[in-house]
Amino acid sequence: MAVYTDVSDKALEQFLQLYNVGQLLWCKGIAEGVENSNYIMATDKGQFILTLYEARVNEDDLPFFLGLMNHLAKNDLATARPIEQNDGKLYSTLCGKPAALIEFLDGVALKTPNNQNLFQLGVATANFHKKAETFNIKRPNGLGLADWQPLFEKCGNDINIIAPNIKGGLHNFLSNELQFLQENWPSNLPTGVIHADLFPDNVFFMHGELSGIIDFYFACNEIYAYELAIIINAWCFEKNGELNSTKVRAFFRGYQSARQLEAAELDAMVILCRASAMRFLLTRLYDWINVPENALVIPKKPDEYIRNLQFHQKIDNYKQYGIE
């Protein structure tokens, strides 16, 4: 269960005095999540998510994360809104940890999204990129290109046993790909604030409509098209490993209905798909190798993203994804 910090009733009641959210009715821990401690709670004025930020989240980044969520909500993007305290602050301290109260967002994450869901995701992603243009805080990507080689080296030299069927070994496979990405990284593409973790579990739907986006704790300033590459990897491959080009097409139609992509962004899509596959492959590989014995959450093995990367290496042109 992803609750690393227990909160007593007394501590919670004192914390809620900082807000105008009514009287506490109940509160319980949420099993989902990896990075932070999360509780769902209800007062006589509604339901909220209480988040305590654990060690892997840098408190210095909270003004960016929470400020971005607040900015997007105020600009009518469907997302969870941080609740302002009586003094206007967006977070304070609870049980020795930075903590914030977030508006409860109705909806569920979909296990099998359809083409219409992908179209809606495309529209929402483009609107997010456009609405975040006026957000005045910047944050570099903490898991960008420059961070991948050091992360790879931390995985050690004995990683071949994790994927024994790769010709030449996983270590050489990743080393060669990192060199390729360094040498072929696209330049002069449009950039701005991206979510950087728009996986299906961070997008809610209700009655067939996209109801909101959550979990902005990897958000950063980065190439817009890199976000689209992440979504191809996270949403458009079926369980058998095949790319669903109709889902890719639906997503891009939705995105371009709200923000037209430049030709250079489309031309860079193959490289960026390889890059986003590498990013999640490496973080999953590192977590798989370094999982502590008392881990509360079992990390995901990197197999899926090894497969995705091998697929992208065979693509020569963005049109092969089904993008029009």
Segment 23-32 shows an average pLDDT of 86
Q: Are 105 and 239 in contact (CB under 8 A)?
A: no
User: Quick one: how far is CA 20 from the chain centroid?
Assistant: 30
Say what the pLDDT of residue 143 is.
96
39: closest CA among 74, 67, 71, 9?
9
Lowest mean pLDDT among 57-61, 71-75, 287-291: 287-291
Residue-range definition of the domain harbouring residue 85: 9-103
Query: pLDDT averaged over the chain?
Result: 94
Domain stops at, among 82, 103, 124: 103
Percentage, residues of the chain above pLDDT 90:
88
Burial of 88 (0-12, 13-18, 19+ CB in 10 A): exposed
Structural domains of the chain, count = 2
Residues 161 and 286 in one domain: yes
Q: What is the pTM of this model?
A: 0.94
Report the chain's C-alpha Rg in angstroms: 20
Give 49's strand partners: 40, 102
SS3 letters across the chain: CCCCCCCCHHHHHHHHCCCCCCCEEEEEECCCCCCCEEEEEEECCEEEEEEECCCCCCHHHHHHHHHHHHHHHHCCCCECCECCCCCCCCCEEECCEEEEEEECCCCECCCCCCHHHHHHHHHHHHHHHHHHHHCCCCCECCCCHHHHHHHHHHCCCCCHHHCCCCCCCHHHHHHHHHHHHHHHCCCCCCEEEECCCCCHHHEEEECCEEEEECCCCCCEEEEHHHHHHHHHHHHCECCCCCECHHHHHHHHHHHHHHCCCCHHHHHCHHHHHHHHHHHHHHHHHHHHHCCCCCCCCCCCCCHHHHHHHHHHCCCCCHHHHCCC
Say what the pLDDT of residue 39 is.
92
Give 212's strand partners: 204
Q: Domain for residue 67, yes or no?
A: yes
User: Quick one: how far is CA 275 from the chain centroid?
Assistant: 15
Say what the pLDDT of residue 1 is.
39
Residues 142 and 269 in one domain: yes
Burial of 147 (0-12, 13-18, 19+ CB in 10 A): middle
Could you tell me the CATH number of the domain that includes residue 78?
A: 3.30.200.20
Residues 90 and 180 in one domain: no
Residues 314 and 194 in one domain: yes
Give 193's strand partners: 221
Higher-pLDDT residue of 47, 292? 47
Segment 208-216 shows an average pLDDT of 95
Q: How confident is the model at residue 54 (pLDDT cuts 50, 70, 90)?
A: confident
Q: Can you say whether residue 104 is alpha, beta or left, with left for phi > 0 and alpha for psi between -120 and 50 degrees?
A: beta
Q: Are 221 and 189 in contact (CB under 8 A)?
A: no
For residue 294, is pLDDT > 60?
no
Residues 167 and 264 in one domain: yes
Segment 185-204 shows an average pLDDT of 97
Q: How confident is the model at residue 246 (pLDDT cuts 50, 70, 90)?
A: very high
Say what the pLDDT of residue 57 is.
85
For residue 284, is pLDDT > 50?
yes
Residues 80 and 24 in one domain: yes
Give 223's strand partners: 191
For residue 299, is pLDDT > 80?
no
Higher-pLDDT residue of 293, 132? 132
Residues 137 and 27 in one domain: no
Q: Domain for residue 109, yes or no?
A: no
Say what the pLDDT of residue 295 is.
53
Residue with tokens 């990507």: 141
Per-residue model confidence as pLDDT tens digits over 90-124: 999 999 999 999 999 999 999 999 999 999 999 99
Which amino acid does the sequence have at 248?
A: V
